[in-house]
Amino acid sequence: MSTTTKDDMTLLSSSHNKRRRNEKEGDEKTATTVTTNNNTNDTGTSRDYYFDSYAHHGIHEEMLKDTVRTETYKNAILNNKHLFRDKIVLDVGCGTGILSMFAAQAGAKHVYAIDCSDIVTKAKEIISLNGYDDSITVMKGKVEDTTELPNLKTFSTDNKVDIIISEWMGYFLLYESMLDTVLHARDKWLVPQNGIIFPDKATMYLCGVEDGMVKRDRIDFWSNVYGFDMSPIRDVALHEPIVDVIDSKQIITDTVPIFSVDLLTCSRASSKEYNNVNSFQSNFQLVTTRDDFLHGLISYFECEFTQVHAQTLRLSTSPFCHYTHWKQTVFYLQDVLTICENDDIVGVIDCKPNPNNDRDLDIQIQLVINGKFINNYQTQMMYRLR
């Protein structure tokens, strides 16, 4: 009989809310090949799920049911069998093994599927069940701690893989910090000449948004709760970006790129000051497209598979495209601004991992707005994505 308590349920549900990296204590240092565990009663506890949110099937269900996401990978792989035939593939963060099985279906000679979460036990079972035991080696461990890919020399004389596939993107693209894991795998195992990474490019965009209803509901709500002033919580809520669906009709400025990365060529430490791949600073200029009220800025990202045959495949999380589980990331401003068409918003966005917890991102946005009714409005907001 289940003995789940209310506290367990809270832990369980909070761990499903966000895609989160594994923080399970005592992870093996070196990746080990996974043997199948047939004991179906051996389910994780809520504490396990808290530290290892990817161990629970719920998060994988959400990702697999995101058809924009999963179909784009499927099309990229299965419509490019000529790239995969007889090739060695590394799946970084294999989860349920879905991308590895697409690669095996596409004719890969061998696939290495690595994941540090307990979900790999299920991936191993799934891969066996679908008849890919011989073509996919499943390994449990952190990619960074994995010293060798078993029998790689028997498949490849130079001890390298031809293709890396990975779905590493977090909210605001960089949340979860998995990009560095893929680059680590690239530097260690990808063939130096003509190596393929799916996807190989990513760009983050910024634009202005009218979002009065949600700002009132999620932020201003705290100013008057059953007649009590709870504005200390309003201050906290305002400084946490919200992951939410934004209707394209709410976008009231043009859109500008603020960060882009080429996974084939970028170095793991981009500059001295920003010596982390999850850090960037970008100046931006937005022009408002109609008379309206500005409540905040939103960010979204796009990834590209440029090494596919013929036309580049794009996976977009734009509000102008179909829904994805990444939604958009909203940064509310302190004030509501009355803007007119062709007003000018000039700013700087700066993103760094939090010094005390490098999985969290500290994002600072500085703005100056000049327009018909606004004269030199300046603001500086500090956000923490956690």
User: Which one, of 339, 348, 326, 328, lies nearest residue 372 by Cα?
Assistant: 339
Q: Does the active-site annotation cover 62? A: no
Read off the tokens for 357: 């917890």
Residues 165-184 binding ligand SAM (CB under 6 A) are 167, 178, 181
Read off the tokens for 252: 């009231």
328 binds ligand SAM (CB under 6 A): no
Closer by beta carbon to ligand SAM, 96 or else 203: 96
Read off the tokens for 58: 């719920």
Read off the tokens for 342: 């062709």
185 binds ligand SAM (CB under 6 A): no
116 binds ligand SAM (CB under 6 A): yes
Q: Segment contacting ligand SAM (CB under 6 A): 38-46, 87-95, 241-249, 296-304?
A: 87-95
Residues 24, 110, 124, 142: which binds ligand SAM (CB under 6 A)?
142
> In sequence order, what DSSP letters do the residues of 56-118 get, joined into one string?
SHHHHHHHHH-HHHHHHHHHHHHTTHHHHTT-EEEEES-TTSHHHHHHHHTT-SEEEEEESST
User: Which one, of 283, 289, 287, 286, lies nearest residue 258 by Cα?
Assistant: 283
Residues 80, 101, 111, 115: which binds ligand SAM (CB under 6 A)?
115
User: Which one, of 32, 56, 62, lies nearest residue 44 by Cα?
Assistant: 56
Quote the least distance from Cβ 303 to ligand SAM, whole Å. Answer: 12
Cβ-count burial of 344 within 10 angstroms (0-12 exposed, 13-18 middle, 19+ buried)?
Answer: middle
Closer by beta carbon to ligand SAM, 22 or else 324: 22
Quote the least distance from Cβ 305 to ligand SAM, whole Å. Answer: 14
Closer by beta carbon to ligand SAM, 181 or else 250: 181
Residues 4-43 binding ligand SAM (CB under 6 A) are 19, 21-22
114 binds ligand SAM (CB under 6 A): yes
204 binds ligand SAM (CB under 6 A): no
User: Which one, of 273, 332, 271, 345, lies nearest residue 299 by Cα?
Assistant: 332
Q: Does the active-site annotation cover 341? A: no
Residues 119, 174, 190, 349: which binds ligand SAM (CB under 6 A)?
119
Helix, strand and coil content of the chain, in percent to the nearest 5, comes to 25, 30, 40
90 binds ligand SAM (CB under 6 A): no
CA distance 106 to 84: 6
Name the catalytic one among 125, 167, 210, 304. 167
Residues 77, 80, 89, 93: which binds ligand SAM (CB under 6 A)?
93
Residues of this chain that bind ligand SAM (CB under 6 A): 19, 21-22, 54, 60, 63-64, 93-96, 98-99, 114-117, 119, 142-144, 167, 178, 181
**Residue numbers annotated as active site:** 167, 176
